[in-house]
């Protein structure tokens, strides 16, 4: 099975400014995205995420390297036919209604009238905008625009969906809805390549991730391989026992009312603390072991700490 | 199909532009004012009305083509709508042709509107429809089509203000270059004349589309001139559009 995306040694530099100065944005990116997976592309601002996507879409021409989509050169019409894209902070023709907007994009794929109408109705339902079909985009909220943008990315029923910051600027409910839609794509056999700053979301839904810093991929792989299940520390909240009882057992001890918050670095000491609480007649209100997160890895990779 | 989809959306967007209606309003005022000018001038009043009316259609048409033509392609790039368009199986050349056709349709509607007002004013004075006027208007429209292509060429790599200046400069040069032809006729054969000839070939000669004097004064025009002017317009427009596509195909959308 061919990779959905295969990028080899991609390089791109721009000459910017009044006195043009060459700035190398991508310094030899190589990555592959397998068919049917959700791939998270992470990196701090200015790392080269959007530039990679623009190269992938043929909006900018790389200086060197090869890009293949389903085994075909990325600029070939058949590769484009299999692709859907939602840009970051999308602006669309705001004088069109949602249905007119989707009809325009459907025309770019030469869909027949019946197929077009069916697909528009299905997509508006998928993104929860069926009631806003005849509303002009000017009146859409940011979340609604993001959803109609997602619908336009799917108008050709693509095998590969590329989403640039699809969760940016959305409220928690909106984020959850978009996340659910992305997971549904995978269930339908589609491949999703997306960038995000919201690491918890990536951690929740991605199969593979790549981290790009300064135009280079510094880490990539399956999420479960990158994030170890080792417990970093355990957080414990107890009541009915004074903080002085825990001296020497917990690292961070803080008190709020009759509640004592403990942070225990050594996993083996958790049992000792629990025994102590039991012995003193106190109550354990919460206990949560904290394993390594993608955020830890991201911060460590980006800052080198 | 794709080209028509782009042309349709371009027409929809262009017809929402207030500048277009403002220019149309001033064009209508200029055409109506030709009647006042005719009253104040000694001579054939109808000829003054025809002359001023046709000139108004030409000037305001050019302003529409330049101002709308230079802003629409730039707007797509500036507002990044072009990102989603070019991510689809749409060639960059198809995008440029779609934009061009949408703008030509807009200019056609506007020229038709201005012409209706003009022909109505002329009718009020002569009590007959002056069909030869349509010939002059058709060639003004052909000139506007060429100016639209030029506006698209400049806007494919420049900002609206610079593109407008360049396009208007093209229009002015186009109407003054006939002087170069007159100069060539008076020059002695040699390097200077060859250079002047090469420059004249390269520069546009928009006077080729100017049949206003002949039509207003009822002068005869050989059929060959019509055909030559028509072919000149079509070939020059195709050349400019080809250039625009070449420029657009090579640029990065950062």
Q: Which two tokens stand for residue A57?
A: 């879409």
Asked if A105 lies within 8 A of B88 by C-beta distance, the reply is yes
SS3 content of chain A, % helix, strand, coil (to 5): 35, 30, 30
Q: Which residues of B touch A92 (CB under 8 A)?
A: 81, 84
- The pLDDT score that the predictor gives to residue B106 is 94
Q: In this structure, how many other beta carbons lie within 10 angstroms of the beta carbon of residue B22?
A: 13
Checking if the pLDDT of B38 tops 80, the result is: no
Q: At what angle do helices B160-176 and B131-155 cross, to 10 degrees?
A: 130
A187 & A157 share domain: yes
Q: Are residues A159 and A178 in contact, defined by beta-carbon separation less than 8 angstroms?
A: no
- Which residue out of B1, B12, B72, B89 would a mutagenesis test of the A interface target, given it has the greatest number of A Cβ atoms within 10 Å? B89
Q: Shortest CA distance to A132 belongs to which of A115, A116, A151?
A: A151
Residue found by looking up tokens 């043929």 in the block: A58
CA angle B208, B71, A132 (to 5 degrees): 130
The mean pLDDT value for B132-137 works out to 89
Asked if A105 lies within 8 A of B13 by C-beta distance, the reply is no
- The pLDDT score that the predictor gives to residue A227 is 72
The mean pLDDT value for A231-252 works out to 78
Asked if B252 lies within 8 A of A156 by C-beta distance, the reply is no
Q: Are residues A246 and A262 in contact, defined by beta-carbon separation less than 8 angstroms?
A: yes
Chain A contact present for B55, CB below 8 A: no
- Which residue out of B75, B80, B84, B253 would a mutagenesis test of the A interface target, given it has the greatest number of A Cβ atoms within 10 Å? B84
The mean pLDDT value for B162-186 works out to 89
A168 & A242 share domain: no
A240 & A191 share domain: no
Tell me the pLDDT tens digit for each residue of A155-166.
999 999 999 988
Checking if the pLDDT of A294 tops 80, the result is: no
Q: Are residues B118 and B133 in contact, defined by beta-carbon separation less than 8 angstroms?
A: yes
Asked if B84 lies within 8 A of A152 by C-beta distance, the reply is yes
Beta bridge partners of A12: A26
Which chain B residue is nearest to residue A86, measuring alpha carbons?
A: B84
Which chain B residue is nearest to residue A55, measuring alpha carbons?
A: B252
Mean pLDDT of chain B: 89
A126 & A62 share domain: yes
Q: What DSSP string describes B19-48?
A: HHHHHHHHHHHHHHHHHHHHHHSSS-HHHH
Listed residues A223, A255, A271: the one ending a domain: A223
Q: Which two tokens stand for residue A51?
A: 């530039």
Q: Which two tokens stand for residue A266?
A: 């050594």
Q: Are residues A185 and A156 in contact, defined by beta-carbon separation less than 8 angstroms?
A: no
Region label for A176, one of left (φ > 0), alpha (ψ between -120 and 50) or beta (otherwise): alpha
Tell me the pLDDT tens digit for each residue of A186-201.
888 899 999 987 788 8
Listed residues A223, A246, A261: the one ending a domain: A223
Chain B contact present for A81, CB below 8 A: yes
Q: How confident is the model at residue A1 (pLDDT cuts 50, 70, 90)?
A: low
Tell me the pLDDT tens digit for each residue of A5-42.
999 999 999 887 777 788 888 999 999 999 999 999 98
The mean pLDDT value for A247-263 works out to 77
Tell me the pLDDT tens digit for each residue of A133-185.
888 988 988 888 888 999 999 999 999 999 998 887 778 888 888 888 889 88
The mean pLDDT value for A206-223 works out to 88
pTM of this structure: 0.84
A137 & A52 share domain: yes
A9 & A79 share domain: yes
Domain assignment of residue A253, given as a range: 231-303
Shortest alpha-carbon distance between residue A192 and chain B (Å): 15
- A289 alpha carbon, distance to own chain's centre: 25
Domain positions in chain B are 2-250
Q: Are residues A202 and A42 in contact, defined by beta-carbon separation less than 8 angstroms?
A: yes
Which ipTM value was assigned to this complex? 0.80
A195 & A48 share domain: yes
A296 & A193 share domain: no
Asked if B88 lies within 8 A of A156 by C-beta distance, the reply is yes
Listed residues A223, A250, A285: the one ending a domain: A223
Residues 109-138 of A with CB under 8 A from B: 109-110
How far is Cα B35 from Cα A265, in angstroms, rounded to an integer? 94
A298 & A151 share domain: no
Q: In this structure, how many other beta carbons lie within 10 angstroms of the beta carbon of residue B169?
A: 12
How far is Cα B62 from Cα B170, in angstroms, rounded to an integer? 11
CATH of the domain at A279: 3.30.70
Residue found by looking up tokens 């929809």 in the block: B12
Q: Which two tokens stand for residue B173?
A: 């040069």
Checking if the pLDDT of A245 tops 80, the result is: no
- The pLDDT score that the predictor gives to residue A305 is 55
């Amino acid at each position: 099975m061919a990779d959905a995306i295969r990028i080899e040694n991609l390089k791109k530099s721009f000459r910017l400014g009044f006195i043009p100065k060459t700035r190398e944005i991508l310094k030899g990116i190589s990555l592959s995205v397998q068919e049917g997976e959700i791939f998270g592309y992470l990196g701090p601002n200015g790392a080269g995420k959007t530039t990679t996507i623009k190269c992938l879409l043929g909006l900018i021409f790389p200086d060197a390297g090869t890009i293949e989509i389903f085994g075909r050169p990325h600029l070939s019409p058949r590769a484009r036919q299999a692709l859907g894209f939602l840009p970051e902070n999308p602006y669309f023709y705001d004088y069109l209604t949602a249905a007119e907007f989707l009809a325009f994009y459907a025309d770019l794929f030469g869909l027949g009238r019946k197929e077009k109408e069916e697909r528009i109705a299905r997509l508006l339902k998928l993104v929860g905008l069926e009631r806003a079909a005849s509303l002009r985009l000017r009146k859409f909220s940011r979340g609604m625009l993001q959803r109609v943008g997602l619908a336009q990315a799917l108008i050709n029923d693509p095998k590969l969906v590329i989403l640039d910051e699809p969760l940016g600027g959305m409220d928690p409910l909106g984020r959850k809805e978009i996340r659910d839609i992305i997971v549904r794509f995978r269930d339908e056999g589609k491949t999703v390549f997306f960038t995000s700053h919201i690491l918890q979301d990536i951690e929740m839904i991605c199969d593979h991730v790549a981290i790009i810093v300064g135009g280079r991929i510094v880490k990539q792989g399956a999420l479960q391989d990158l994030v170890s299940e080792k417990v970093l520390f355990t957080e414990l909240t107890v009541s009915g026992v004074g903080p002085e009882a825990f001296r020497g057992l917990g690292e961070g001890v803080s008190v709020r009312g009759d509640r004592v918050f403990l942070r225990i670095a050594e996993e083996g000491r958790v049992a000792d603390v629990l025994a102590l609480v039991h012995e003193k007649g106190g109550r354990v209100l919460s206990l949560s072991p904290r394993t390594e997160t993608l955020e830890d890895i991201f911060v460590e990779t980006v800052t080198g700490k | 199909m794709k080209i028509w989809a782009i042309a349709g959306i371009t027409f929809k967007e262009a017809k929402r532009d207030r500048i277009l209606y403002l220019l149309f309003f001033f064009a209508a005022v200029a055409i109506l004012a030709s009647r006042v000018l005719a009253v104040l001038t000694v001579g054939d009043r109808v000829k003054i009305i025809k002359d001023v009316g046709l000139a108004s259609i030409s000037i305001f048409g050019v302003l529409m083509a330049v101002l709308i033509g230079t802003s629409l392609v730039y707007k797509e790039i500036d507002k990044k709508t072009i990102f989603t368009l070019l991510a689809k199986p749409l060639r960059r050349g198809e995008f440029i042709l779609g934009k061009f056709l949408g703008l030509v349709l807009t200019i056609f509607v506007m020229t038709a509107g201005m012409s209706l007002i003009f022909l109505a004013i002329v009718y009020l004075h002569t009590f007959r429809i002056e069909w030869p006027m349509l010939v002059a208007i058709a060639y003004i429209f052909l000139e506007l089509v060429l100016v639209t292509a030029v506006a698209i060429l400049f806007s494919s790599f420049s900002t609206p203000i610079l593109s407008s200046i360049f396009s208007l400069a093209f229009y002015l040069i186009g109407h003054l270059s006939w002087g170069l032809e007159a100069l060539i006729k008076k020059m002695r054969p040699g390097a200077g004349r060859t250079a002047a000839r090469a420059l004249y070939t390269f520069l546009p000669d928009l006077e080729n589309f100017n049949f206003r004097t002949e039509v207003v004064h009822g002068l005869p025009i050989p059929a060959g001139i019509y055909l030559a002017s028509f072919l000149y317009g079509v070939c020059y427009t195709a050349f400019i559009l080809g250039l625009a596509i070449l420029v657009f195909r090579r640029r990065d959308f950062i």
